[in-house]
Amino acid sequence: MEQATFGAGCFWSVEAAFRRIPGVSRTSVGYMGGHFERPCHWDVVARITGHAEVAQVEFEPQIVSYEQLLAVFWKIHDPTSLNRQGADRGEQYRSMIFCHTPEQMAIARRSKQALDASGDYDKPIVTEIQSASDYWLANDEHQQYLEKKSRGIGG
């Protein structure tokens, strides 16, 4: 198993997109990329922590490749939008790829360069690519939130 971590706006929809992919064995949502120990949701939305809302994905590379996960990442959000996705605004919604290995870093950089050069967007890709750092799991109420909501649980 390998891990991948992506920030692409509100983590609920990001997680939901990755949960549907064959070869993804587990997902969770949380916070990464900030400077604050054990942030909670309210700390992050107050914009005092520097964290991005992220979905962390555990996947079987024999079934789904990191490149395939990146292809989904690019499709589910606007990577040219700085610190916002749709109605969600703030640095916590920035477009981020957090790499867990040097190989992921190289693949992510090549993928971003190829997309930027493709002409598919009128504006440059603003997605940040960094090494993975401390991951702070969001409260249970945020885990698989859209799934729970569709079943009438919580939210």
Name the burial class of residue 31, with classes exposed (0-12), middle (13-18) and buried (19+) by CB atoms within 10 angstroms of its CB: buried
Q: What phi and psi, each to the nearest 5 degrees, are found at residue 111?
A: -65, -45
Which entry of 10, 64, 99, 108 is annotated as an active-site residue? 10
CB contact at 8 A, 10 and 38? no
10 is catalytic: yes
Residues in the chain: 155
Q: What phi and psi, each to the nearest 5 degrees, are found at residue 51?
A: -80, 155
What gap in Å lies between CA 131 and CA 102, rounded to an integer? 8
Catalytic residues: 10
